[in-house]
Amino acid sequence: MQTDWAVYVERYGLNGYYLTDTDGDGVSDRMEFAHGGNPTNPVDAGQFPAFSVSNAAADFISMEVAGTNSGICYTAEWTDNLITGEWRQAWAMTNSTPSAVSNYNEVVYRKDEGPEDQVFFRNRIFPPVSRPNILLILADDLGYADVGFNHPYSGPNKNNAYNGTAQVSTPELDRLAGAGAVFTSAYVVHPFCGPSRMGLFSGRYPHDFGGPFNLPDDNSGYYSDQGISTNEVLLSSMLQEAGYYTGLMGKWHLGQDSEYHPNNRGFDEFYGFLGGGIVYWGPYQAGGWDYLRYPQYNGVADTSLGSDDHITDVLTGKGIDFIEQAAATEDPFFLVMSYNAPHSIMVDGRNDRDQAKAEDLAVFADVPDRYRRNLLGLIRGMDRCVGQLVQTLKNTGQYDNTLIVFLSDNGGRFDQVGGWGDNGVLRGRKGDVTEGGFRVPMFMHWPNMIPAGVTYDFPVTALDFYPTFARLAETEVPAGQEVAGKDLWNALMVAEDARPGEPIYTVTYSTTAASVGIRQDQWKALKLGNNNWVLYDVVNDISETIDISEANTVILSNLVSEGESWSSSHVQPLWWNNPSQETDWKNNGMPHYETVFTLP
């Protein structure tokens, strides 16, 4: 059954995107539809809301589509202060009667007299959401500029390892990004993969539950019984409880014991590896180094892979199987494609084989540095596989109702093993609290819901996925799961900042000092180890080159104070990179927050 919006689009020959202004009158097609206008006639924008006051009450009057399958959602709100006031949706009464315009109602929202000196009204218009499929594609150690859709931010490569001769090739990702919204200020919660993923799946900073370090490889024997606390209700569990068919293909890194296993943390289907990485080519083995161990399907080792099997393609094949199985159910799906690529180039140790496939390396035959060439090939292979996933969505009729989200778990590496990852104009690399460590490439794509060609410059964080996906799934964040993110959806639809004045944090530790990054609006407060706090305007100085703290002492002081309040909920780590680091941490009385959040 077509929505009223779809009928409206056909009637007037519109392109179907909500924010388009076909007649150029300054009112979007969506807004004209919402209020009974003609989107091809600049003198007929419809009947916009009005208000009247009588008998100690204020009536807010809005013309709204009468059907129950309108294709848009109305949210009438009021506040008593446009600067600091909270927008409220509590009304004394609502009443709807047919209007003079066919298929529209006149809706009256009444606010009784109260203590307010003044009252302001608005009716926000949003596309509806109807429990979309969610495909979350997570790359590993992908640089900010190592995707085509971020080439405006490529800049000079900081290490010049490949002499600027290579351009990354990601046509499938670029196609999706161009047809959706690119997030230029997207952050993860930590510049290392384990804590970053724990933050994404829990919606909380990992420092609040003892997970600020990567879990060591299982074969090390260190902290092998640890993992993300079972008290944390993960995003996957929330969606599974809401009726989603859930799957994870690829990297986990949230714990290896049974209680932490993906199948026990909200995923119906799991194919992949539990540790921090895996070599790209089979065959694999039963024990030894984590990276050489068999991948597994729902807890059972897959011993079938040989030397011609590339893990990126294997994971994609399992993702395709999942999508096809989902098409046979009546439930929406949540699929995480947690690729290993392009993590850790040339670390197999068993031979000197290229880690990217020959067909993907061939695109970069003129790149002289072998490590960089393999990195580009691995990225190209992942991109090629994303195209296969998208084609499967189309073949099974699920493409139009699937939200695709793509991002990296942290910044790229500037070393040989990392394939000379490129964070472009950003300062720093994986592991840093400068922008290059935890600012990542990201886009969202959903046909006819997210307009094509959107660039969203406001800060967002992977913490936001939890409440945003809850809203899209028409469920609630579980009681007791105090998520730190924001529901982005309405802000994205109207191109507004979802968190004005609210900071995004990251902190890392050595054995003697903490490093902290705090992003709020255009400001970035930064403390590197025992150095003093500095301040940057990362909107106008994205590379963090000019310290403006002396001219903005109040702003810096406020940010440091916010950071101190944020850190008050942190707990002692449950694991470290190794026992020696744990000993040093305790002997040195880390993390020294009493001095970290202090200005000279």
- Residue ranges of domains in the chain, CATH in brackets: 4-126 (2.60.40.10), 133-489 (3.40.720.10), 504-596 (3.30.1120.10)
pLDDT of residue 161: 43
467: exposed, middle or buried (C-beta count within 10 Å: 0-12, 13-18, 19+)?
buried
Q: How far apart (Å, rounded) are the C-alpha atoms in residues 353 and 347?
A: 10
Give me Rg for the CA atoms of the chain.
Answer: 25
For residue 86, the model assigns a pLDDT of 79
Indicate the Cα dihedral angle 456, 458, 463, 468, nearest 10°.
Answer: -50
Tokens found for residue 121: 């009204």
Q: Is the dihedral of CA 166, 413, 570, 199 positive or negative?
A: positive
pLDDT tens, the chain, 600 aa long: 567 888 888 999 998 766 789 999 999 888 999 999 999 999 999 998 998 888 788 999 999 998 777 778 888 889 999 887 778 888 998 999 999 888 899 999 999 988 888 899 998 887 666 789 999 999 999 999 999 999 877 655 444 444 444 579 999 999 999 999 999 999 999 999 999 999 999 999 999 999 999 999 999 999 999 999 999 999 999 999 999 999 999 999 999 999 999 999 999 999 999 999 999 999 999 999 999 999 999 999 999 999 999 999 999 999 999 999 999 998 999 999 999 999 987 777 788 899 999 999 999 998 888 999 999 999 999 999 999 999 999 999 999 999 999 999 999 998 888 788 999 999 999 999 999 999 999 999 998 788 889 999 999 999 999 999 999 998 999 999 999 999 999 899 888 999 999 999 999 999 999 999 999 999 999 999 999 999 999 999 999 999 999 999 999 999 999 999 999 999 999 999 999 999 999 999 999 999 999 999
What Å distances lie between residue 424 and 146, 153, 154, CA to CA? 8, 6, 4
| Residue partners of 597: CB distance under 8 A and separation at least 6 | 516, 560, 561, 563, 564, 567
Q: Other C-beta atoms within 10 Å of 365: how many? A: 7
What is the C-alpha separation between 511 and 580, in angstroms, rounded?
10
Strands (E), 386-492: 402-408, 439-440, 442-445, 454-456, 460-461
Give yes or no for a contact between 375 and 418, defined as CB atoms under 8 angstroms apart.
Answer: yes
Fill in the DSSP letter of residue 219. Answer: G
- 6: Cβ–Cβ under 8 A, 6 or more apart, which residues? 16, 71
Which of 384, 255, 413 minimizes the C-alpha distance to 310? 384
Distance CA 237, CA 329 (A): 19
Q: Residue 484: name the closest of 138, 123, 177, 232 by CA.
A: 232
* Owner of token pair 């067909």: 359
The three-state secondary structure class of 39 is coil
How far is it, in rounded angstroms, from Cα 299 to Cα 484? 32
Asked whether the beta carbons of 304 and 314 are under 8 A apart, the reply is no
pLDDT at 585: 97
Structure tokens at 420: 């000379």
* Eight-state DSSP code of residue 564: H
The half-sphere exposure of 36 on its side-chain side, counting CA atoms within 13 A, is 19
CA distances to 25, 210, 380, 446, 583 from 595, rounded to whole Å, are: 56, 21, 45, 46, 21
What is the per-residue pLDDT for 276?
Answer: 95
- Angle (CA) 218-484-517 rounded to 5° is 75
Contacts of 227 (CB under 8 A, 6+ apart): 215, 254, 255, 256, 257, 259, 260
Q: Are 122 and 109 in contact (CB under 8 A)?
A: no
Amino acid at site 295:
P
Cis amide linkage into residue 98, ω under 30° from 0:
no
Q: What is the pLDDT of residue 20?
A: 83
Question: How many H-runs (helices) and E-runs (strands) does the chain carry?
Answer: 14, 23
Amino acid in position 194: G
